[in-house]
A = this chain, B = another copy of it.
Amino acid sequence: MRLEREIGLLLRRSRAISARLAGELHPDLDGAAYGLLSLLRDTGPLRASDLVARLGLDKSTVSRQVAHLVDLGLVDRTADPVDGRAQVLTPSEEGAARLARIRDVRRARWESDLSDWPSSDVATLADLLRRLNHLGEAREAEVGDDGCAR
C-alpha cells in the first residue's frame, strides 16, 4: 500500500533526524536520549517507570539514557512531591535551553521548507493526518490496559 510505504519512510527519516538532533544536544547522545529529553520537557516531571511505559523502550535502556543525561547535567532528579521516597525527572535549565534552541532551528526549517507549498496543501495534509491519528486513537481505546481487545 502506497500510503503505508510513505508513512514508513516518514518514520525512518524521523528516527534519523532524532539521532542527528541528539548529537546537537551532546555528541555522546543518541536518538533515544533526544526523545526522552523531549518527552520530559513536554509532559514532565515523570518517574523513570513512566518513561519506560511511554517510550516503549526497555527498563535498562531507559535507565542508562537517564543516567547519561543526568551525568551531562541535562536532566535533574528530584524527590517526587507526591511520594518522597520516589524520584522524578525534569530537564535541567541547561537541558531545557539546549532543547529550545534545537526546536527553534527545526521549526524555522519546517517553515522555510513548506513556504513553497500552497497553504491549502499544508492544511489538507494536517487535516488528513488528524483523521488518521483519530482512527488510531479510536482503535487504541478498544484495547484495554491488559492489551486485550474488548
Contact = CB atoms under 8 A, between A and B. Distances in A.
A23 B148 CA distance: 13
A123 B124 CA distance: 12
Interface in A100-145: 107, 109-111, 113-114, 117, 121-126, 128-133, 135-137, 139-140
A36 to B, nearest CB: 11
A6 B56 contact: no
Interface residues on A, range: 35 or more
Contact of A15 (B2, B56, B60): B56
Contacts of A125: 3, 125, 128-129, 132
Contacts of A130: 6
Given A6-B130, A10-B7, A147 B20 contact: yes
B64 A60 contact: yes
A9 B126 contact: no
Contacts of A113: 135-136, 139
A67 to B, nearest CB: 12
Interface of A: 1-4, 6-7, 9-11, 13-20, 22-23, 30-32, 35, 54-58, 60-61, 64, 107, 109-111, 113-114, 117, 121-126, 128-133, 135-137, 139-140, 147
